[in-house]
Amino acid sequence: MQVLAAMSGGVDSAVAAARAVDAGHEVTGVHLALSPQPGTLRSGARGCCTIEDAGDARRVADLLGIPFYVWDFAERFDEEVIETFVGEYAAGRTPNPCVTCNEKIKFEALLDKAMALGFDAVSTGHYARLAIVDGAPVLRRSADPDKDQSYVLASLTPEQLRHAMFPLGDSHKSEVRAEAERRGLAVASKPDSHDICFIPDGDTAKFLESRLGERPGTLVEESSGAVLGEHSGVHHFTVGQRKGLGIEAPAPDGRPRYVLDIEPVSATVTVGSAERLGVTRIDADRAVWPSERVPVGPTECVVQVRAHGGTAPAVADCDGESIRVSLREELRGVAPGQTVVLYQPDERGDRVLGSGKIADTGR
């Protein structure tokens, strides 16, 4: 097959590309330039897509003996990922930019261009297992539970998954680093990137402030309705947040307060006790079913609402476009704008049933 290997400059995508070559595919490497003014060097594990990363990817491609290109997706990334991220926070929701990036950039913009150029598939360094069974994709958690990335891939369509390859799905991270060392790849010990790639200093509040400015509002105690203070914008908060609330007076019982609700129109942030964070109902829209099979009737499943968050058993009712999840155990800090992913355990591990954007929660 003609395979386009997305190469970020890290160890995972490097080994994934090498495995695609070993499998006998005709591989071409591509690095995505996602910033019009990329930084020269990374700062430890912060950020990605720097000039250094492009150079690291090129050196791996040279070692593998494959063609290599840099494609400029900066404008598309800004429109689809950064502007969406900013807009969601302004609307009082909590987005996951990695989900958006995988959906809109790596498996929409990149895959569309790859298909137009005659490639059969796009290979990435994601940790997830993918198989085609009776013509339908089956997406599962990776063999390494600590690195599993099926959550951020669960919004991909069946057609996108039919043209995807995840060569690392059956491996653990330690095995990937050891393989990179054996292959003589200079990125073998390169640290993983963390945080949000377009906010390399990790200061999300400062970044949002630079885009949205100040939008003053009030902090209100849920139980009493008392105004506890003022804030400079709802974009500084997310449901479940405890630190940085700017409230001087302690709660009457001395326990910490948490953000319970964000109302962007009135710029009201409601806070209260940790016990009030628990939800047992999640309503989601924009549902995607990677295997093309929409569950019929109440379906037992396990749900996950954050990329590295916990899971909870649940029953899901679906009508194709929307999902109502009834949790058998409380989940705390579930925020509108997050992605809820439905898994169904079987003999081969957790299989992705579908995903949706959280629109509302309740008890």
* Residue-by-residue DSSP string for 170-239: T--HHHHHHHHHHHT-GGGGPPPPBS-TT-TT--HHHHHHHHH----EEEEETTT--EEEEES-GGG--T
- d(CA 228, CA 260) in angstroms, rounded, equals 14
Q: Which CATH superfamily is domain 2-125+167-189 in?
A: HUPs (3.40.50.620)
Known catalytic residues? 101, 197
Q: Hey, what are 91's tokens? A: 């609307």
How do residues 2-13 score in pLDDT, each as one tens digit? 999 999 999 999
pLDDT at 17 over 60: yes
Domain 214-272 class? mainly beta
- d(CA 353, CA 298) in angstroms, rounded, equals 13
> Residue range 197-203: average pLDDT?
83
Tell me what pLDDT residue 222 has: 93
- d(CA 120, CA 22) in angstroms, rounded, equals 17
> Residue 204: how many CB atoms within 10 A of its CB?
16
- d(CA 329, CA 308) in angstroms, rounded, equals 18
> 201 exposed, middle or buried (CB, 10 Å; 0-12, 13-18, 19+)?
exposed
Q: Which of 66-70, 233-237, 246-250, 332-336 has the lowest average pLDDT?
A: 246-250
How do residues 25-43 score in pLDDT, each as one tens digit? 999 999 999 887 665 444 5
Domain edges within the chain: 2-125+167-189, 214-272
3-state class (DSSP) for residue 38: coil
Backbone torsions φ then ψ of 19, nearest 5 degrees: -70, -35
Question: Angle at the Cα of 238 (from 283 to 242), degrees rounded to 5?
Answer: 120
- d(CA 187, CA 177) in angstroms, rounded, equals 9
